[in-house]
Amino acid sequence: MIGPRDLWLRRSMRFRVTTVATAVTLAVLLALAFLTSRMIEPLLVDSADSELSPVLTAAAAAVMDGRPVESSSPSILAHVLDTAGQPVDGKPAPVLSAADVRVLKAGTPVLRLTDYPPVRWLGTVVSAPDGSQRVVVVGTGLAGYTTAHISTLHWLLVAAIIVAAAGALATWFAVRSALRPVQHMRQAAARLGAGKRLPLPASRDELWALTGALNDLLARRDQAADRLRRFTGDAAHELRSPVASIRVQAEVAVRHPDPELAQEVLTDVVHESERLSALVDGLLTLARSDAGEVPPAEQVDLSAAAYDAAARCPDDGPEVVVHTPAGWCWVLAAHNEVDLVLDNLLRNAARHARSRITVTVIGGSTVTRLVVDDDGGGIPVEHRSRVFDRFYRVQDDRARSSGGTGLGLALVAEVVRRRGGTVRVGESPEGGARFLVSWRTTTVA
């Protein structure tokens, strides 16, 4: 079932903005209309009080002096009453109830809305020359009191509706004009080809900033798509080699059922399957990293991890020497990430070292460094900027024969980068390659 919210969201932005703006404008104008119409009544009453006050003062003075009370205007009534409310000036009794007289004796004005027109009365109590108490009252009719209130409200409501309609029309065209560049941008995006960008508008406004952000997003999308194409092609190429090797050797073993040949084939199959397994693990790790899957960071003792990694190296390989400072060197990473970095760096160094690999841990207050040196042939300068690229090999044939997949150093660079660290390659004092890894230092809580 479609609810009101769904129906509202299905409308165009122009309709929604216009509706909201019109509703708010109309509500404010209606509130002002009712408020203004209500203010007409006190304005008329205040005007009558301003006119009656001097007349009441003059009449009270005349009563105290014993003079007759005369009204200065035919529209103003002036009466002198006793304390019971009866006239003592020979004039007809005013239309006032006993309750009205009590209120006027207290000095409070009275508004009689039941009269036509409504009458405003002011009163006061004074002493006559003979000592008797007299109530002096003056009043005037409020002509047009009810009509002014109703007419004002009527015309203000009409004005509010007209202004709201004009505001709705203006809002409709304003939003339409403001959204026209967005419509052009949508049409341009629909026709956009690969590698193309949206044209930047001439005005330096919010739309210009949005277009620039969208172009940046398109650039990142193209870069990601290009990386994905290259990664997929390289992965397919790399996976094809061990799979083809395993298949060919299996076919040879089937066609030549010789026990000695079978044992040799099985050895080669195990070697290729290990290489294939390492390649698949590396691809999965890189895919998780590209997807943003980062394990929680924790405190890892880099010194202990370096000794453990050295202990995992084969006994028949180059000698691995570890130098660490006294105490612990804690870095902010994950245990499996540190082990992956150390294992890949030592495995890479073992392929090219002649007899010795040196692992050095250098502690620092903000950065802890891991240095891996070997005494092999080193890495030429022209290759150092690309050794961390995926599937890149300095010596392709040698790397293939030694079991390299071209992903080890790429994995090292990736896991260190996502922890805010850096990896550099240079020349070792021992003549081979030097890999320098920097991690953020952390302290034990």
What whole-number distance in Å separates Cα of residue 40 and Cα of residue 98? 29
* 97 DSSP assignment: -
CA-nearest of 139, 207, 224, 165 to 25 is 165
Q: How many CB atoms lie within 10 A of CB 342?
A: 24
Residue 404 CA: distances (Å) to CA of 117, 294, 335, 348, 392: 108, 25, 24, 8, 10
What whole-number distance in Å separates Cα of residue 394 and Cα of residue 379? 8
CA-nearest of 336, 344, 354 to 404 is 344
CB 79 within 8 A of CB 87: yes
* 72 DSSP assignment: S
CB 141 within 8 A of CB 75: yes
The per-residue pLDDT string of the chain (445 residues; one tens digit each, 9 = 90 and over) reads 667 777 777 777 788 888 888 999 999 988 888 887 777 778 888 888 888 899 889 989 998 988 888 777 788 889 999 888 899 888 888 888 889 989 998 889 998 888 888 889 999 999 988 888 999 999 998 876 767 767 777 888 888 899 999 999 999 988 888 777 777 777 777 787 777 888 877 777 777 888 888 888 888 888 777 766 766 665 665 566 667 777 777 777 777 777 776 677 777 777 767 667 766 766 676 666 666 667 788 899 999 999 999 998 888 889 999 999 877 889 988 888 888 889 889 988 998 898 999 999 998 888 999 999 999 888 888 888 888 887 776 654 434 444 455 677 888 888 888 888 999 999 998 889 999 999 998 876 5
AA identity, residue 1: M
- Supply the pLDDT for residue 345: 92
Strand, helix or coil for residue 25: helix
What whole-number distance in Å separates Cα of residue 52 and Cα of residue 140? 8
Write the burial class of residue 134 (CB in 10 Å: 0-12 exposed, 13-18 middle, 19+ buried).
buried
Please report where in the chains the tokens 């073993």 appear, as a residue. 253
- Supply the pLDDT for residue 356: 92
Give CA 249 to chain center in angstroms. 59
CB 423 within 8 A of CB 435: yes
CA-nearest of 84, 88, 118 to 104 is 84
Host H or E run for residue 430: none
